[in-house]
Structure 1
Amino acid sequence: MNIKQFEYKPLAHYSYAILSNGKMAVIDPERNPEQYYAFAKANNAEIVAVIETHPHADFVSSHLEIQKKTGATIYNSEKLGADYPHQSFDEGDEITLGKITLKAINTPGHSPDSITVVATKDDDTVLFTGDTLFIGDVGRPDLREKAGNIKAKRKELAEMMYETITHKFKNLPDDALVYPAHGAGTLCGKSIGNDSSSTLGNERMGNWAFKEQSKEEFIDTLLDGQPFIPSYFGYNVDVNKTGAADLQPSIENIPFTENTVAEGLIVDTRDEATFKNGHLKGSINIQAVSENAKFETWLGSIIEPREKFTLVIDKVENKDNLSHRVAKIGYEKQLKQVITLSQENLVKTEKLDLSDFKNNPEKYTIVDIRNTSEVEEEKFFDSAISHPLNELRETANDIPTDKPIVVHCAGGYRSAAGSSIIKNKISGTKVYDLSDDIEKFK
C-alpha cells in the first residue's frame, strides 16, 4: 500500500494519504489542505475520499474544504451528527479504493463517535486508529462532556475504551501496522511513545491498555493524571462537526499594519528577549519563534474562543505563517489585526538579580505555572505556589503581592507568557521571569 504520513509538530498531529490505482483517500487532514493536493498531483491521483475518525478537539480539519474543491466524499461515523455532506462509515461499511479495501470499526472511548479505519490489500493490514489507540497509550476520555453531538461523561467513555481495547482489535493480526492521529506531545493522551507508528503486536506487548487487568484498574489508570483541557478544545469539536470555512479566504482579509500600536487584548509572538526589551503594555508573550514551538496549544489555552485579540509579529515576512498557525485552531475569526511595532509607547521588563534570588529565595514569592501533574511529580522550590498557566488569567489576582514575584515553569518557554500575564494583572509589585535559569535549580 502507498501510504504517506504527514506530521504537524507543534500539535503532534499525524494525517495520512493512502493511494491505489490513481485513487487517494485523506485521513484526519489538518487545516491547510495544500500538502494533500500536492501529494495527489505528484502521484497522478484523484482525491475521492476524506475520512474523519472523529471530530477533533485540538485542531481544525480541512475535510469540508477538500470536499468542496475535489468532490471527494467525506466519511465519518453517523454517531458524529455531522452538519456537512457526508456518507456514514461505521462497522460493516466498506470503501473500495483501487485495490485496497477500507473498513470501519466503531471504537468509542476517546469520543462516542470514534472509528478506526482498517485498510487491507492481499495479506497486508493497516490500522488508522485516530485518537483511540496511540503508541504506548490510548486517547483520553474526558473531552466530550461539554462539546459535540453526543456528550458523554469521562467514566462512561473510559468504560467504552476498556471494551474497545478488550474486544475491537481481537481478530486483527499482530503484523497490522498502527498509524495514530497523534504522537508524543499532544494533550489528547498522557503517556504516548516517541515512535510515529507501531504494529498491533508491539502494542499488545508494550501498551499498558492491553495488559491483563480488571475494568476498574483500567478505568482508574486511564482517568488518573490526565493533562489539563485547553479552552479551545470544545470549540474545535463544534467547528469540526460543522466543517470549517476555507482557509485562504479566512486569513487573507485579516488587517495588517506595520510600525503601529494597539490596545485591548494583545498577543506578542516575538522571542522573550525582544519582548522584554520593548512591548506594548498589557501584552501576553506567547512565543512563536520556532516551527516546533507549542504556540497553538498555548494560544488556545490562554485566549478563550471568540475573544478578540491583536497579534504582534516581528516582521512582515512572518505574517502569512503566523496567520496560518492561528487558523490551525480556528482562531482566525477572532483575530482583529496583525501588526509590527513602532518604537513608541513601549515598556521594558526588568531583569531578575539571579544572585540575590539564589541567595535569598525567601525574599520572593515564587509562582510555579507548570501543570498540576508536573508539580505533583516534582517541585523545584518548596515555597512555590502553584498557578497553572492555563488558569492564570483567572487566578493571578490571588497571588500575594507583599514581595517581588518570580515566575517559573520547566524550561522557560511558558514562564515568558506567565510572567507577562501576572504583570498585567498585578500593579505595584515587581514581576520577574526566571526563564531558562530554572535549569540551575533542578
Structure 2
Amino acid sequence: MVFRQFVHDDLGCASYLVGDERAGVAAVVDPALEIDEYVRIARYLGVRIDHVLETHTHADHVSGHGRLQEATGAVIHVHRAAGAEYDHEPFDDGWELELGDVRVRALHTPGHRPEHTAFALVDASRGPEPWAVLTGDSLFVGDVARPDLAVEAEDGARDLFRSLTDGLLRMAPETEVWPGHLGGSMCGGPGMSMKISSTIGYERAHNPLLAVDDEDEFVRRSLAALGPQPPNVATVVALNRGPLGAHAVTARPLTSRQVERRRAMGALLVDVRADLPFDEAHVPGAVSVTSIRAGFGTRLGWLADMGDGIVLIGRDDADGRAAARLCAAVGIGDIAGYLAGGMTSWREEGRPVARIPRLPVGELAARVAADPALQLLDVREGSEWRTLRIPGAVHRPYHHLREVPEGIDPAAPVAVVCASGQRAGIAASLLARLGVAGVEHVTGGGVGDWERAGHPVERG
C-alpha cells in the first residue's frame, strides 16, 4: 500500500497520496495548490495519479485539483452536495473507490460543510476492516472542526455532533486518524494539535469535545471556541467550487522607483521579513506580515483589501516569489509585484526608511510606571481579551485596525501588546501606517508574561 501525508506548513493543511504500488495506481486527497511534490512522489513510487478526492469544498485554501487534473488526467471526485461546477464524478455516502488492493470508502460527515466526507481506508491484503480514516475537517487531533463556514453555526455544530457520535466514533478504537489540518489552521479551534495523526480510541478518551455526550452542551462549547471568520472565505470557496483553473499568481520584480509609485497610487506594501529587521528599518508605510512563520497567508487575508494591489518586500527576490505563492494558496490574486533585490536594494539606493521602537515585555511595567502618558493597545482576539487583560488597556484585534481605535490618542505614545509579540508587530506597523507617531512594539511575550511577573490583571 502507498500512503503519504503532505503538510502545507503555512496553512496547517494536510493532504494525502493513497494507492497500491503493485497495481500502479493512486489518488490524491485534498491536494494543495502546489502539486509538484505529489507528481514527484508518484513517479518515484511508480504509480499513476488517476483520481483526486476532495473531502469538501475548502474555505481556507485554494485546491490543486484543477492543476492535478491538467497534469495527470485524473478524475476528480467530491460529494454530490458540494454543487461543484467543474467536471467531476459525484459520490454519495458509502461509495467506494478501488485502487488495486486498496479501497477508499466515503463516510458522509456533514458539520464543517454539508458535503463534508471522511474517507475510510481498507487494505484488502491485510484485512477487511478499515485501518485508517482520513477525517478531513471533521475530527482533528485534540479538537473538532469549526461549524460556521458554510451554514449557521448552530446547525453546523449539531450536524457535526451527529457525524461524530453516530459515525466516526463508532469505528474501531485502533483505527488511525489522519486529519485534514494540524494546529494553527483557521478551520479548527485552540485545542488542535500539531501532531500529525492519532487513533479513534485515543481521541475518544482525550479529546475534550468528544467527552461531551449531550448535543446542546456540545453546541454550546463548539460555538464558544469560535474565532473570527476570515474575510476571504467566500472568495476561496468560489475558486474551489468553480471551473477548473491554474489559479496562479504571477509576481513581477519592481524597481524601487516603481514601488514608490505604487505606494503613491495606494498599493499595500507588505514586508514579509521577520519583525526584528522590519522594526529596525522598513519602507515607510509598509505593513509587517512575516512569511517565515506559519499563518502568513491567513493573516494577510485580513488585510489584503487595504490597498490598491499588493507589493511584497522581502530580503531578496526569492522572498518575494515565495510570498506570492503563499498568496495564491489562499486566493489572494491582486499582487502588483515584489521589490527587486529586496530591502537591500532599497537601502543601497539611499531611500528613506522608517523604524519602530521595540519594547521587551519584561520592561513594559517599568515603562508604564515611568510614563503616565503611555497607552496600551491589546490586539488579541476578543476571547483572549475577555479571559485576561491588563487594566486600562484599549482592545482592538490587529485585523480590525483600519483606523485609529477609539480611546487611542495618535499624538501620545502607545505600546502594542498581544500574547507573544507576533500580532503586536503587525498591529504596530498598521498604526504607524495610520500616522500614529509614538508606536512601540512589545516583543518577547505579552499579556500572559505580564501576569506571570505578578503585575495586576483583569478577568471576565
What is the rounded CA distance, in whole Å, between the counterparts of 2:371 and 2:233 in structure 1?
Answer: 38
| Deviation at residue 94 of structure 1 after TM alignment | 1.4
Aligned match of 1:419 in 405, 414, 428? 428
Q: Which residue of 2 is the match for residue 173 of structure 1?
A: 172
Count of residues in correspondence between the two structures:
427
Give yes or no for contact 2:368–2:374 (8 Å, CA) kept in 1.
Answer: no
Aligned match of 2:145 in 139, 143, 146? 139
Q: Which residue of 1 is the match for residue 377 of structure 2?
A: 367
Stretch of structure 1 that moved more, 351-360 or 164-173: 351-360
Q: Which residue of 1 is the match for residue 254 of structure 2?
A: 257
What is the rounded CA distance, in whole Å, between the counterparts of 2:219 and 2:431 in structure 1?
Answer: 37
Task: Provide closer, same or farther for how the CA distance between residues 397 and 266 of structure 1 changes in structure 2, counting only shifts above 3 A.
Answer: farther
Give yes or no for contact 1:235–1:305 (8 Å, CA) kept in 2.
Answer: no
Stretch of structure 1 that moved more, 351-360 or 317-326: 351-360
| Deviation at residue 335 of structure 1 after TM alignment | 0.3
What is the rounded CA distance, in whole Å, between the counterparts of 1:203 and 1:306 in structure 2?
Answer: 44
1:102-181 equivalence runs, <5 A = 102-122=104-124, 123=127, 124-144=130-150, 152-169=151-168, 171-181=170-180
Give yes or no for contact 2:175–2:200 (8 Å, CA) kept in 1.
Answer: yes
What is the rounded CA distance, in whole Å, between the counterparts of 2:241 and 2:307 in structure 1?
Answer: 17
The letter of the residue matching 1:62 is: G
Q: Deviations over 1:64-90 (max 9, x none)?
A: 110121111101011111111111122
Q: Deviations over 1:3-48 (max 9, x none)?
A: 1011112211111001212111100111100000001000010001
Task: Provide closer, same or farther for how the CA distance between residues 244 and 383 of structure 1 changes in structure 2, counting only shifts above 3 A.
Answer: farther
Report the RMSD for the aligned CA atoms in angstroms: 2.2
1:286 paired with 2:289, answer yes
Q: Deviations over 1:179-222 (max 9, x none)?
A: 11001111211111332111112222222333252211111011
Structure 1 unaligned regions, length at least 5: 145-151
Q: Which residue of 2 is the match for residue 147 of structure 1?
A: none
Task: Provide closer, same or farther for how the CA distance between residues 377 and 212 of structure 1 changes in structure 2, counting only shifts above 3 A.
Answer: closer
1:229 paired with 2:226, answer no
1:359-398 equivalence runs, <5 A = 359-360=369-370, 362-379=372-389, 381-394=390-403, 396=405
Task: Provide closer, same or farther for how the CA distance between residues 237 and 404 of structure 1 changes in structure 2, counting only shifts above 3 A.
Answer: same
| Deviation at residue 402 of structure 1 after TM alignment | 5.4
| Deviation at residue 426 of structure 1 after TM alignment | 3.5
Match of 1:383, SS? coil
Give yes or no for contact 2:173–2:201 (8 Å, CA) kept in 1.
Answer: yes
| Deviation at residue 233 of structure 1 after TM alignment | 2.4
TM-score using structure 2 length = 0.87
Stretch of structure 1 that moved more, 358-367 or 113-122: 358-367
Stretch of structure 1 that moved more, 350-359 or 89-98: 350-359
Task: Provide closer, same or farther for how the CA distance between residues 243 and 365 of structure 1 changes in structure 2, counting only shifts above 3 A.
Answer: farther
The letter of the residue matching 2:329 is: K
Q: Deviations over 1:67-122 (max 9, x none)?
A: 12111110101111111111112203111111111111111011111011111123
The letter of the residue matching 2:294 is: A
Stretch of structure 1 that moved more, 49-58 or 222-231: 222-231
Task: Provide closer, same or farther for how the CA distance between residues 305 and 204 of structure 1 changes in structure 2, counting only shifts above 3 A.
Answer: farther
Match of 1:104, SS? strand
Task: Provide closer, same or farther for how the CA distance between residues 133 and 394 of structure 1 changes in structure 2, counting only shifts above 3 A.
Answer: farther
| Deviation at residue 51 of structure 1 after TM alignment | 0.6
Q: Which residue of 1 is the match for residue 276 of structure 2?
A: 273
What is the rounded CA distance, in whole Å, between the counterparts of 1:127 and 1:259 in structure 2?
Answer: 51
What is the rounded CA distance, in whole Å, between the counterparts of 1:345 and 1:309 in structure 2?
Answer: 20
1:349 paired with 2:359, answer no
The letter of the residue matching 1:309 is: I
Q: Which residue of 1 is the match for residue 457 of structure 2?
A: none
Task: Provide closer, same or farther for how the CA distance between residues 361 and 25 of structure 1 changes in structure 2, counting only shifts above 3 A.
Answer: farther
The letter of the residue matching 2:162 is: E
1:328 paired with 2:329, answer yes
Give yes or no for contact 2:120–2:132 (8 Å, CA) kept in 1.
Answer: yes
The letter of the residue matching 2:298 is: T
Stretch of structure 1 that moved more, 430-439 or 86-95: 430-439
The letter of the residue matching 1:326 is: C
Give yes or no for contact 1:308–1:335 (8 Å, CA) kept in 2.
Answer: yes
Match of 1:303, SS? helix
Give yes or no for contact 2:158–2:219 (8 Å, CA) kept in 1.
Answer: yes
Task: Provide closer, same or farther for how the CA distance between residues 236 and 305 of structure 1 changes in structure 2, counting only shifts above 3 A.
Answer: farther
Q: Which residue of 1 is the match for residue 458 of structure 2?
A: none
Give yes or no for contact 2:417–2:424 (8 Å, CA) kept in 1.
Answer: yes
Q: Deviations over 1:125-166 (max 9, x none)?
A: 22111101111221001112xxxxxxx211111111111112
Residue identity over aligned pairs, in percent, reads 27
What is the rounded CA distance, in whole Å, between the counterparts of 2:275 and 2:165 in structure 1?
Answer: 48
Structure 2 unaligned regions, length at least 5: 453-460
What is the rounded CA distance, in whole Å, between the counterparts of 2:374 and 2:5 in structure 1?
Answer: 49
Task: Provide closer, same or farther for how the CA distance between residues 361 and 186 of structure 1 changes in structure 2, counting only shifts above 3 A.
Answer: farther
Q: Deviations over 1:212-244 (max 9, x none)?
A: 522111110111121222222232122111156
1:184-263 equivalence runs, <5 A = 184-190=183-189, 191-242=191-242, 245-246=245-246, 250-251=248-249, 253-260=250-257, 261-262=259-260, 263=263
Higher relative contact order (CA 8 A, sep 6+): 1
Task: Provide closer, same or farther for how the CA distance between residues 397 and 327 of structure 1 changes in structure 2, counting only shifts above 3 A.
Answer: farther
The letter of the residue matching 1:223 is: L
| Deviation at residue 281 of structure 1 after TM alignment | 2.4
Q: Which residue of 2 is the match for residue 149 of structure 1?
A: none
What is the rounded CA distance, in whole Å, between the counterparts of 1:73 and 1:423 in structure 2?
Answer: 50
Q: Which residue of 2 is the match for residue 101 of structure 1?
A: 103
Task: Provide closer, same or farther for how the CA distance between residues 308 and 154 of structure 1 changes in structure 2, counting only shifts above 3 A.
Answer: same
| Deviation at residue 393 of structure 1 after TM alignment | 1.9
Give yes or no for contact 1:364–1:403 (8 Å, CA) kept in 2.
Answer: yes
| Deviation at residue 307 of structure 1 after TM alignment | 5.6
Stretch of structure 1 that moved more, 270-279 or 6-15: 270-279
The letter of the residue matching 2:338 is: V
